[in-house]
Amino acid sequence: MNDLSLHLESSYIDLPDVFFSRLIPTPVKKPELVILNKNLSKELNLDFSNLDNKKISELFSGNSLPPGSSSIAQAYAGHQFGHFTMLGDGRAVLIGEHLSKKKDRYDIQFKGSGKTAFSRNGDGRAALGPMLREYIISEAMHYLNIPTTRSLAVVKTGEDVIRETPLQGAVLTRIALSHIRVGTFQYIAARDKKDELEILLNYVIQRHYPNIQNSKNKAIDLLKVVMEKQIDLVVNWMRVGFIHGVMNTDNMSISGETIDYGPCAFIDTYDPKTVFSSIDQMGRYAYCNQPVITKWNLSRFAECLIPLIDKDQNKSIELATEIINSFEKKYEEKWLNMMRDKLGLFGIEDKDKFLILDLLTWMHHKKLDYTNTFCHLMNSEIEKNENFKDHDFQIWKKRWQERLKINNNSPKKYIQLMKSVNPMVIPRNHKVEEVLNEANKNNIEPLNKILE
């Protein structure tokens, strides 16, 4: 199997046993490769040319583990819809960390690979539809320049999983900078053992943020850097109209990648209160709440770090609070700059915020499509819409055109800027559903087409 040029290490198992549970993926009856991500394979310097589909299926179902692997389920906790729970990988195993030629380190995880010590009442398996959904959406996010975990392969298991009805089973291979979450820190913090917390802190810094390794206060600097990463991430989600759907603390990655594509979608008609999870009755994770929840999750992260910030608990809380309270200002600044880019605006003008908010308010009022409105402003007519002849819109457009003239702007420059941040193509939910329905009937042509 080393023909793959798979260089596996397992630094995570050097941590104390409390961080994980060792196990082997449960073998599956009849593995069958559905899709292999050739572009990602190249980026990871993996070569599958010497393997036939049967061998690849055996590998990515967990039936035959590559040399150097040491499969574990990670322990973590999480605030799920605001309620704290002790969790862990209930249906996923980490088989190791692959080192690319550039010495970049990537987790390789099988999702849907059977029961673990953390499964509780679950069967540890996954259905084909949701695994392919994660593959499609994570690829879209990657090509929209948004930090994300990615999918290397999906393999059918030849077994049914029982949900409301029997569904085809599948295993997804997920690639991530790491699977360490805010919830990992919460799990260790709940054990109330400062030495374990310190071990985790040092591991994360060494793995993700070596530039702060010699810092005077590592815990404070880690909180700052993770906050910056998360602000950048959520600003990117808002840019393309992405709704994560389940922003629990166990779904917030310390590396700043989008992780865990459950009930997620891209917004169609612009409504800030759009929710995309049937469980989310209160709209906790609505599109417009994503920045608020990001701050809330970061506050939970800060709480975990209190014992490591300062010997004096009150001083610790004061320092952490000061950082968390800087969130809104940082977020608003980055969000405004992102929206300026979406509108092709260079420089900063006092009235920019009103120009931006007036457009969004009008879009909401007229129930316009979020992506297509910006396509219209880039002169890319995706759909004929009479609303663009609307009197209020014409007045707004004049204000926008006046603003465009400032700072040596030219149509070539501003269209180029807009095209760099505004998607022309997003995986529309109804299209994704059509593709998944076909895949469930063993027709993967539409899947390949949407990915292209």
Active-site positions? Answer: 250
Q: Give the helix/strand (H/E) hosting 160.
A: strand 150-162
Q: Are 243 and 287 in contact (CB under 8 A)?
A: yes
Residue entry with tokens 């009103």: 354
CA–CA gap between residue 312 and residue 149 (Å, rounded): 38
Residue entry with tokens 């409390």: 18
Cα 28 off chain centre by: 28
Residue entry with tokens 């990615």: 150
CA–CA gap between residue 212 and residue 209 (Å, rounded): 6
CA–CA gap between residue 98 and residue 65 (Å, rounded): 13
Report H helices in 153-217: 182-190, 194-208
The string of DSSP letters for 302-334 reads HHHHHHHH-SSHHHHHHHHHHHHHTHHHHHHHH
Cα three-residue angle 428-433-437, rounded to 5 degrees: 150
Size (the chain), residues: 452
Region label for 33, one of left (φ > 0), alpha (ψ between -120 and 50) or beta (otherwise)? beta
